[in-house]
Structure 1
Amino acid sequence: MSETPGFPARRAAMRLLDAVLRRGDTLDQAMGSATKELDNFADRALARAIAAEVLRYLVDIDALIDSATRKPLPEDAKARTVLRIMLAQWLRLATPPHAIVATGLPLLQGGPRRLAHGVFSALVRRAVVLPRSPTLPEKVEARWGAEATNIASGLAVPPQVDLTLRNPDETQKWAERLDAISLAPGHLRLRRGVAIAELPGYAEGAWWVQDLAASLPARLLGQGMGRKALDLCAAPGGKALQLAAAGWDVTALDISAKRLERLSDNAKRTGLTCTTVVANALEWKPEISFDAILLDAPCTATGTCRRHPDVLHRIGERQIAEMAELQAKLIKRAASWLKPQGLFVYAVCSLEEEEGKAQIFPTSLSPDPIGPEECPAVLISACSDNRITTHPGMRTEEGGVDGFFISRYHRAA
């Protein structure tokens, strides 16, 4: 018997949610196995979109489900998962209810279809709506404190695509060619839904994909003029490309050979040069000292919750503590490789205090104040002393930014 068109994508979405909420996988990790039966990009994209919208609004969707049942369904009940998928499509993706029922109820083969149909139909009749900003899980709201409401306001809409230009002097030219807006020299923001590889400038390497906030750490090192820079934990390589474009002699190190391949491919496409090293930074010993070191440290990545709402539900105190410990080891080790008067930039795409302002830096490093001219005008409020701190609720009128903690130091003579 043939399956209802669109049903395989919904089944894949259910597998994605199971991988994230039960096993603790990331959406990226789960995509391969969860969508392997889908033979076209559109279905894979739909499966991911459904799962992402469930995760973005999970607390609010569950509250709606509970409001329409006599007693709450268990957290891991298949009927709850299916209802989450159905409601996310209706309330977030504007899918017609009849199509949702046709593709959703078959997920409960041999299960409580009547219950799911009844709950969904009741909520449709009530014309329920979701809040403008998602309600954060309690553990997340507790960690983020006073900023939680502001951060949540930036999660309502999936982010647009940001580009970093190889030549910042061509910002206006490429903004016009790509019908984009620019929030800083060398930055472009595209509308959602564009096919990246088909855009002008891709083949000739005029730009690469990189969130505006992710471009800030490399900007803080300025022009290289042939001096030597080390980009630690460099993959997928956007910051290494920025440094090379700014005239630095770049060594890009990462533990993952596969992820460094992406950097090599982009370097070839853009005509930029980076020396890549596959190594564990906690074991590697450089033969030289560096004029600048950029440590974009491994982290919980909670600052990327606009793009990866799975982090709202996977990350807890244990992961935060483990990452903070690893970051401290990397800071201590990398600081010893810096030349006198050299610059050290530390960055994490995390919103957790333990990974950011609570980190301790060696006494050999002194805070290096960041001037207002070094920070994009739209993010000037995020700049203070030697730090830049962004979060997804900033500049929502322009589409927002990822959350980053960035600090700059210099080594005394």
Structure 2
Amino acid sequence: MVLTGSGTEGKRSRPHKKHHRRDPAEMKPGLAARQAAARLLSAVTESRASLDGLLDATGGNPAFTGLGDQDRLLVRAILLSALRHLRVIDAFIDQLVDTPLPDGAKALRQVLRVGAAQILYLDIPDRAAVDLAVSQADADPRNRRFAGLVNALLRRMAREKETVLPEISAVTPDFPEWFESRLRRSYADEADAILSNLSQPPAIDLTVKTDAEGWAARLGGVVLPTGSVRIGRPEGPVSGFEGYDDGGWWVQDAAASLPAQMFSKLEGLEIADLCAAPGGKTAQLALAGARVTACDQSANRLERLRGNMARLGFDVATRLTRAQDLVAPDGFDGVLLDAPCSSTGTVRRHPDIFYTKGPDDIERLAQVQRDLLDHAAGLVRPQGELVFANCSIDPAEGEEMVAGFLADHPAWKIKPIDPARWPGLELAITKKGEIRTHPAMLANEDPRLAGLDGFYGVVLTRR
């Protein structure tokens, strides 16, 4: 296996002395971060592990949680760039070798992917990315014999990226065929704009307790039609921003803030938030004056919700239970069901979804949502409201699923949303009065400030 057109450079192997090797993380700064990135990239692409779970600050993968703050930020940036552009990265790698990498060389490909993500998409010196990739290969017995190949391939990639990357990007699809075909079928007029925006890293939106204009001025952001404050992409962790420790705001995509705002009234009412963790919508409900019971089936996620409520200063009841097992003889004035879904509306911020979910999951999860909705309807008091929502962009998990529910439950109906409630988001209100957002909404000259997650929401009441 040699580099295409690389002469003998790709054939050299590095000599290795037979001596005790020190811990590689002690030998070279930054190596542990690259090793963690390769390990987690493998977990996503080969084992369909959720990136959110792997990068959880407390319960995440030890290779990540054991790093310092700056290295964690670097690992996150590498993984998001690698997953967002993985098809292009793989095509570039494959173009630089005259024979395909061996099927068994999965660990080698992850090293190359991590190096390529830095060279092609991150503001990291090419020399440092190459050097650390070679050290990473050299420290792994599975890859040690390929250290010369890693060196030659990534050095050539760095030299040729200005001309080759645009050529490969122009002919390599960014998204799986199943995703694009379903998207075009459902969003014929907006599909190209949606796909274009999905290729851009998302902004960071904040839900603020009060004074959105003031927080926008202090943090250098803008106020959105949802009332959220959008701050673009900060350099450091948001936990270091003014207002975080004081609980003045929390991170929540603008589209995700809509479902909790869809209730007609919340002050003083008893509201159940099913599938509540990590608690962004729970906090909104509490802020509006509701008496909230937050439920989740994951003890770790529920503990995270409790921590978030403590930071924000909200007092909510919590229940460790599956939503479909929740029993409430007296019912609730309102129920919010933000149901588990394929999350295809959030691929801008969660590009791992393309490697952890597929079309079969959409059909399976639509049935899960229907079962949850059937149960949630039984928890609502006669004059109450049931808000159903999820972050799938696929109508099979939204409009179509709800239409099936209404056909089987003639006592229920859609309570239409008034577009006047969200000036600037009128296009997100469907003819039936549902909410449907997608990444081509909220256009902005700066792509870093444009777009919304794909979200579906509907208010259901008894006739």
TM-score normalised by the chain length of structure 2: 0.82
Q: In structure 2, what is the Cα distance between the partners aligned to 1:281 and 1:37?
A: 30
Q: In structure 2, what is the Cα distance between the partners aligned to 1:197 and 1:81?
A: 30
Q: In structure 1, what is the Cα distance between the partners aligned to 2:122 and 2:416?
A: 45
Q: Which residue of 2 aligns with 1:129?
A: 165
Give the alignment of 1:120-199 within 5 angstroms.
120-126=154-160, 127=162, 128-130=164-166, 131=169, 135-146=174-185, 147=187, 149-167=192-210, 170-184=211-225, 186-191=227-232, 192-199=234-241
Q: In structure 2, what is the Cα distance between the partners aligned to 1:116 and 1:246?
A: 56
- For the pair 1:333 / 2:385, whether they are aligned, the reply is no
Q: Which residue of 2 aligns with 1:79?
A: 108
Q: Which residue of 1 aligns with 2:8?
A: none
Judging changes above 3 Å, is the alpha-carbon distance between structure 1 residues 205 and 122 closer, same or farther for their aligned structure 2 residues? closer
Counterpart amino acid of 1:386? G
Give the alignment of 1:6-405 within 5 angstroms.
6-31=30-55, 32-33=60-61, 35-36=63-64, 38-74=66-102, 77=105, 78-109=107-138, 110-126=144-160, 127=162, 128-130=164-166, 131=169, 135-146=174-185, 147=187, 149-167=192-210, 170-184=211-225, 186-191=227-232, 192-359=234-401, 360-361=404-405, 362-375=409-422, 377=424, 379-384=425-430, 385-395=432-442, 397=444, 398-405=449-456
Judging changes above 3 Å, is the alpha-carbon distance between structure 1 residues 79 and 204 closer, same or farther for their aligned structure 2 residues? closer
Q: In structure 1, what is the Cα distance between the partners aligned to 2:224 and 2:397?
A: 27
Judging changes above 3 Å, is the alpha-carbon distance between structure 1 residues 37 and 370 closer, same or farther for their aligned structure 2 residues? closer
Deviations 1:280-306 (A, max 9, x none): 221221021222211001112222211
Deviation at 1:108, TM superposition (A): 2.4
Judging changes above 3 Å, is the alpha-carbon distance between structure 1 residues 154 and 185 closer, same or farther for their aligned structure 2 residues? closer
Judging changes above 3 Å, is the alpha-carbon distance between structure 1 residues 311 and 119 closer, same or farther for their aligned structure 2 residues? same
Q: In structure 1, what is the Cα distance between the partners aligned to 2:452 and 2:51?
A: 20
SS at match of 2:149: helix
Could you tell me the percent identity over the aligned residues? 39
Q: In structure 1, what is the Cα distance between the partners aligned to 2:292 and 2:239?
A: 26
SS at match of 2:318: strand
Q: In structure 2, what is the Cα distance between the partners aligned to 1:316 and 1:347?
A: 20
SS at match of 1:312: helix
Deviation at 1:57, TM superposition (A): 0.4
- For the pair 1:411 / 2:462, whether they are aligned, the reply is yes
Q: In structure 2, what is the Cα distance between the partners aligned to 1:295 and 1:328?
A: 11
Larger radius of gyration: 2
Counterpart amino acid of 1:357? E
Deviations 1:112-133 (A, max 9, x none): 2333333333333332335499
Q: In structure 1, what is the Cα distance between the partners aligned to 2:354 and 2:330?
A: 41
Counterpart amino acid of 1:139? W
Q: In structure 1, what is the Cα distance between the partners aligned to 2:337 and 2:149?
A: 52
For structure 2, the residue ranges without an aligned partner over 5 or more in a row are 1-21, 139-143
SS at match of 1:358: helix
Alpha-carbon contact 1:15-1:34 (below 8 Å) kept? no
Alpha-carbon contact 1:339-1:411 (below 8 Å) kept? no
TM-score normalised by the chain length of structure 1: 0.91
Alpha-carbon contact 2:388-2:458 (below 8 Å) kept? yes
For structure 1, the residue ranges without an aligned partner over 5 or more in a row are none
- Compute the RMSD of aligned alpha carbons: 2.4
Deviations 1:142-179 (A, max 9, x none): 33235454333223332232111223xx1222222222
Counterpart amino acid of 1:366? K
Deviation at 1:231, TM superposition (A): 1.2
